[in-house]
Amino acid sequence: MIRLKNEVQINGIRSSCKMLSAMYRELIPLVKPGVQTIEIDKWVYAWIKKVGGRPAFLGYGPKKNPYPASICISINDEVIHGIPSKRKIRDGDLVSLDSGIDLGGFISDQAISIEAGKMRAEIHALNAVTCGCLYRGIEAAREGERLLQIARAVNGCAQEKGYGVVHQFCGHGVGLELHEDPQVPNQPHGPNPRMGKGFVIAIEPMINLGTGDVEILEDGWTVVTADGKVSAHWEHTIAIHGGRTEILTEPLEAFTGLQPERIAAPVPV
Ligand code: MF3
Ligand code: CO
């Protein structure tokens, strides 16, 4: 069941999203070679607590194996849900961060991929295209259009470059819970409802240098590419209003030093 959000709820979700993006703006300069990923997680936990939120990812998932951190940190061939550890970021790593805040019951979700140190041109291109794919997808998210238009936009953009699009994981409704209906795939398969006023969804292309196939590691969380090639991940939480679409989380690519490739024109108001 898709829960349409009213203006009061969207206002709450927006506040949560702005807080999350503010967190990332402070965090981005700290993500560099030599830093342990667990240090980043500790910083994120403290930041979210300090501002009166709750880390939305911490404890999420099955009771027997809940997600143990406040942020997912997925490096290189890790696609999503990487668990912070003693691993140190190294020069040339593509570091994907994904986090969410529960602010008074309103949930935000945003992911970015940071190029740490000197980056291989091939990986930089993947990252720029993935971010561009996200904006292409957002451009397709309009009141009255079908949901899979998002997937067509994302997929088209990635396929044009010969990249693999992860299809085993997808975007989702968000706002009152972390994962709500509908699923928002990046490949055009599955239910295709019309998007209406009050939709709040997370759009999150995961794009690979090789094939789109992925596997889950024994920790039950970390998703890696099946062929070991690098993956990039960018995500925004958006709201569909009557006649316009709003990006609730804030664009952060400029703060990471990235210029998205083929960034879509903003959706007309
Ligand atoms: N942002 C992730 C997603 O959209 C949520 C991660 S699941 C968690 O699927 F357990 F890490 F929270
Ligand atoms: Co998400």
Q: What is the pLDDT of residues 8-59, one digit of tens each?
A: 999 999 999 999 999 999 999 999 999 999 999 999 999 999 999 999 999 9
Q: What is the pLDDT of residues 159-214, one digit of tens each?
A: 999 999 999 999 999 999 999 999 999 999 999 999 999 999 999 999 999 999 99
Q: What percentage of the chain's residues is helix, strand, coil (to nearest 5)?
A: 30, 25, 45
Q: Is 109's C-beta closer than 6 angstroms to any atom of ligand 1?
A: yes
Question: What pLDDT is attached to residue 268?
Answer: 39
Could you tell me which of 225, 210, 201 has the C-alpha nearest to residue 148?
Answer: 201
User: Can you tell me which atom of ligand 1 is nearest the CA of 72?
Assistant: 11
For residue 5, count CB atoms less than 10 angstroms from its CB and return exposed for 0-12, middle for 13-18, buried for 19 or more.
Answer: buried
At 127, phi and psi to the nearest 5?
-65, -45
Instruction: Provide the pLDDT confidence category of residue 97 given band limits of 50, 70 and 90.
Output: very high
Instruction: Provide the pLDDT confidence category of residue 261 given band limits of 50, 70 and 90.
Output: confident
Residue 172 Cα to ligand 2 midpoint, Å, equals: 6
Q: Is 92's C-beta closer than 6 angstroms to any atom of ligand 1?
A: no
In the predicted model, what is the mean pLDDT of residues 224-239?
Answer: 98
Residue 264 Cα to ligand 2 midpoint, Å, equals: 21
Q: Which ligand is nearest to the CA of 79?
A: 1
Residue 52: helix, strand or coil by DSSP?
coil
Q: Is the peptide bond before 182 cis (omega within 30 degrees of 0)?
A: yes
Q: Is 67's C-beta closer than 6 angstroms to any atom of ligand 1?
A: yes
Which residue's CA lies nearest to atom 5 of ligand 1?
57
Mean pLDDT of the chain: 96
Question: What pLDDT is attached to residue 39?
Answer: 98
Q: pTM of the predicted model, to two decimals?
A: 0.96
Residue 120 Cα to ligand 2 midpoint, Å, equals: 27
In this predicted model, which residue has the larger pLDDT, 90 or 264?
90
Interacting residues of 89 by C-beta distance below 8 A, sequence separation 6+? 31, 32, 33, 34, 35, 36, 37, 75, 95, 116
Instruction: Reply yes or no on whether the pLDDT at 239 is more than 50.
Output: yes
Residue 157: helix, strand or coil by DSSP?
helix
User: Can you tell me which atom of ligand 1 is nearest the CA of 61?
Assistant: 10
Q: Which two tokens stand for residue 136?
A: 């292409």
Q: How many CB atoms lie within 10 A of CB 50?
A: 9
Q: Which two tokens stand for residue 224?
A: 């890696």
CATH class of the domain comprising 7-256: alpha beta
Pairing of strands 206-208, 164-165: antiparallel
Q: How far apart are CA 258 and CA 31, in angstroms?
A: 14
Q: Is 112's C-beta closer than 6 angstroms to any atom of ligand 1?
A: no
Q: What is the pLDDT of residues 110-120, one digit of tens each?
A: 999 999 999 99
Which stretches does DSSP call E strand in the chain? 54-55, 71-75, 78-80, 94-99, 101-103, 106-107, 110-115, 164-165, 171-173, 180-184, 200-203, 206-208, 214-216, 223-225, 231-233, 236-241, 244-247
Question: What pLDDT is attached to residue 262?
Answer: 64
Q: Is 60's C-beta closer than 6 angstroms to any atom of ligand 1?
A: yes
Instruction: Reply yes or no on whether the pLDDT at 263 is more than 60.
Output: no
In the predicted model, what is the mean pLDDT of residues 80-89?
Answer: 98
Q: Tokens 């061939």 sit at which residue? A: 77
